[in-house]
Amino acid sequence: MTRRKLLGAAALAGATATAAAAPPRVLKNMGSATPGLGARRQAARDAGEEFDIIEYCREKGLACPHTYLRGGFDPAALRAMHEKLNRYDMRMTVAVRTPRTDDDLPEYEATVKTLSEMDGRIRCIHDPFSGRRYEQFKSAAEFHEFDSMCKTAVQRAEPILRRYKMPLAIENHKGWRSDELAAWVRSTGSEYVGVCLDMVNNVSLIETPEQTIETLAPYTLFVSFKDVGVDFYEDGILLSEVAFGDGHIDLPAFVAKMQRQDPDMIFQLEMITRDPLKVPIFTDAYWNVYDEDSPVPPRDLAMLIDWVRKHPPKQPLPRISGLTPRQRLALEDELNDRCIDYARAKLPL
């Protein structure tokens, strides 16, 4: 081999090694939400450690972690969080419980004020408010009482949000149909109240994902990002988060739509690994939480049943029953990693 060929081969080998060692592209507008990491958080507890969502996202190349603030206002913990976000050049969404009573206002204001001072690292705060409407309540009257309490809490919080210019994202967390949530947001008359758009949750409230997205997109501050698999069972519909590409959401089209609205939109991965959720729409009990003040149009029910019928699972829906803790963790890691790999390969995040 000539000297020129030797030098060329060495240069090629060096370039190949450099390419192999290059870190994966950081997804600057994507993060991971702690609800999708239940097995990993449990593994940390079992090891006597505290799970750190910021460090997890840094390891995965995600620049927008999401966390829940629990345990009261802790200035030292918030300062440490701020320092890490600055060090890693991250943005964050943070779940903070909206003040349910006037007694909650001082701590809520102190928390919002501190978050607002984090050099713009906190994109918005977030409150999911409800559980599953059809499980949490036994009657429409119970739901309406809860609905009133939640709306009063937002009214109570709004002057603080406005004072510190901190947006609040209310999640469509299986409590409100999308038209109900959109009407609620409009009724506040506030530029600081919007939506955390979960693309999938409202299947459980008789909506197709397309209906939910179309209704809530204009009010969205950040996205609870997932794909969905569905099937029928005896009493209704099975609903599952699935790895990106295994479900029925056109993810590239959805991302493009939301980025036209806001180029810096945050997409929080929430790949919850569990048995499929049972949504018992064919039972009388399910319908007890609806009345003439919160109706479900028959057309929506027909559309949802038709959508599920036309979208059978591409793969068996994920299940954790019968798995050991180690197997659950392995499955959770696999599904989350597949979502991240898909996003890095196919989505401009």
Residues sharing a CB contact under 8 Å with residue 4, sequence separation 6 or more, in sequence order: none
Question: Which pair of structure tokens corresponds to residue 84?
Answer: 């890490």
Where do runs of H (alpha helix) occur along 283-324? 284-287, 298-310
> Rounded to whole angstroms, how far apart are CA atoms 232 and 234?
7
**334 vs 44, 137, 273, 338, CA distance in Å?**
17, 35, 10, 6
Segment 188-207 mean pLDDT:
97
pTM of the model: 0.92
Question: CA–CA separation, 171 vs 160, rounded Å?
Answer: 19
Do residues 252 and 346 touch, judged by C-beta distance below 8 A?
yes
pLDDT bracket for residue 7 (50, 70, 90)? very low
pLDDT class of 263 with cuts at 50, 70, 90: very high
Kindly indicate the confidence band of residue 21, based on its pLDDT and cuts at 50, 70 and 90: low
pLDDT of 6 reads 42
- Using pLDDT thresholds of 50, 70 and 90, give the confidence band for residue 22: low
Token pair of 342, please? 């898909």
All residues at 6 or more sequence positions from 231 whose CB lies less than 8 Å from its CB, including other chains: 237, 238, 276, 308, 312, 313, 317
Position 151: which residue type? K
What is the predicted pLDDT for the residue at 70?
A: 80
Fold (CATH) for 25-346: TIM Barrel (3.20.20)
What's the pLDDT band for 15 if we cut at 50, 70, 90? Answer: very low
**Residue 24: per-residue pLDDT:** 85
pLDDT tens digits, residue range 45-91? 999 999 999 999 999 999 999 999 887 788 999 999 999 999 999 99
Query: pLDDT tens digits for 219-249?
Result: 999 999 999 999 999 999 999 999 999 999 9
For residue 10, name the pLDDT band (cuts at 50, 70, 90).
very low
How many other CB atoms are found less than 10 A from the CB of residue 80?
12
Instruction: Please give the single-letter amino acid code of residue 200.
Output: V
What's CA 6's distance to the chain center, in Å?
53
**DSSP code, position 194:** E
Q: Does the pLDDT at position 43 exceed 60?
A: yes
| Rounded Cα gap, residues 314 and 311, in angstroms | 8
More confident residue, 24 or 23: 24
How many degrees, rounded to 5, is the angle at CA 291 between CA 289 and CA 295?
Answer: 100
Distance in angstroms (rounded) separating the CA atoms of residues 301 and 324: 38
Residue 3 has pLDDT above 90, yes or no: no
> Residues 82-129: pLDDT tens digits?
999 999 999 999 999 999 999 999 999 999 999 999 999 999 999 999
Residue found by looking up tokens 């059978």 in the block: 312
